[in-house]
C-alpha cells in the first residue's frame, strides 16, 4: 500500500514534467500523511491542470462521511467492480505529485521504515482516482486515493503491495478520460524492478509531526521500532486497502 510519501522536488520541476499551466508555489514535504491536502494533476477536455485535494477518497453517493472508511488506497484489482471506484476509474483519473514514498516491513512486534525513490530522481507519477463530494449543506470537498497493485521484486522484501507508478509514456493514457471505453487497466501493474531504489531510513518518519530532509537520509542499517498496540474502537471503519486507517473527518 502507500500510507506516507514525499514531495521534495521544486514546483517548476513538476510543472515541466506534467505540463500543466498553473504555477503553484509549494514547499518541500518529506512526510505527507492521509487527510492532508495534496497536489494532483488531472486532465479536463484535453488540458492538464494542477489541483489540491484531500488525501482520502470519498464517493459522491456517501450520505454520512463519518460512517465511511478512510480510503487512501484503491486496490487495482477492485477498480472495475467496487461501486466506490467504478465511476472515477472511467471519468476522474489523476496522478499524485510525488518523488518518493515510505513503506514499513513488519516483523513480529516491530516495524522498519524504508524509503523508495526512482533511480532517475525524477517525479514519480503515482496513479490515482479523484472525486468531488458534496455534503447535505452544499459544501464541497475534492478527495483522492492512490491506486495500488502487487509489489514488484524490489518492494516484495518489504511489503506485498505498492503504488501504481506510471511510465512517462503512459501518463497521457491514464489522464485522458474522454473515452470511457479506453483500456486503462493494462496500466495497473507493478513497475519494473530497476526503476526504484529502496533504503532504510529513520523511524522518526513514523510520527507525522516530523517533516524534514533528515527523514530521507539513508541509514547504514535498518532501524526497527516497536509497533504500538491499538486499542479497539467501536464501529471504527476500515480502509478499502490492507490496513486500518481511521476516519476522514
Catalytic residues: 2, 103
Distance linking the first and last C-alpha atoms of the chain: 21
Residue pair 160/151 in contact by the 8 Å Cβ criterion: yes
C-alpha cell at 129: 482516482
- Per-residue DSSP letters for 49-83? EEEEEEESB--TT-S-GGGS--B-EEEGGGTTT-H
Residue pair 95/41 in contact by the 8 Å Cβ criterion: yes
Amino acid at each position: 500500500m502507500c500510507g506516507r510519501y514525499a514531495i521534495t522536488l521544486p514546483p517548476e520541476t513538476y510543472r515541466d514534467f506534467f505540463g500543466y499551466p498553473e504555477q503553484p508555489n509549494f514547499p518541500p514535504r518529506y512526510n505527507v500523511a492521509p487527510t492532508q491536502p495534496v497536489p494532483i494533476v488531472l486532465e479536463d477536455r484535453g488540458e492538464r491542470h494542477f489541483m489540491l485535494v484531500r488525501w482520502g477518497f470519498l464517493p459522491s453517493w456517501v450520505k454520512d462521511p463519518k460512517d465511511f472508511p478512510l480510503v487512501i488506497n484503491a486496490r487495482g484489482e477492485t477498480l472495475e467492480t467496487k461501486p466506490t471506484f467504478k465511476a472515477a476509474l472511467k471519468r476522474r483519473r489523476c496522478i499524485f505529485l510525488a518523488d518518493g514514498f515510505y513503506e514499513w516491513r513488519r516483523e513480529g512486534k516491530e516495524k522498519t521504515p524504508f524509503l523508495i525513490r526512482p533511480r532517475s530522481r525524477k517525479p514519480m507519477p503515482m496513479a490515482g482516482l479523484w472525486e468531488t463530494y458534496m455534503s447535505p449543506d452544499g459544501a464541497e470537498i475534492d478527495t483522492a486515493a492512490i491506486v495500488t497493485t502487487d509489489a514488484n521484486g524490489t518492494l516484495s522484501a518489504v511489503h506485498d503491495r505498492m503504488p501504481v507508478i506510471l511510465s512517462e509514456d503512459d501518463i497521457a493514457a491514464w489522464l485522458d478520460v474522454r473515452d470511457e471505453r479506453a483500456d486503462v487497466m493494462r496500466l495497473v501493474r507493478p513497475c519494473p524492478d530497476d526503476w526504484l531504489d529502496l533504503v532504510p531510513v529513520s523511524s522518526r518518519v513514523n510520527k507525522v509531526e516530523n517533516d524534514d530532509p533528515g527523514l530521507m537520509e539513508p541509514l547504514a542499517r535498518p532501524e526497527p521500532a516497536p509497533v504500538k498496540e491499538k486499542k479497539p474502537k467501536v464501529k471504527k471503519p476500515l480502509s478499502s486497502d490492507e490496513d486500518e486507517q481511521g476516519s476522514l473527518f
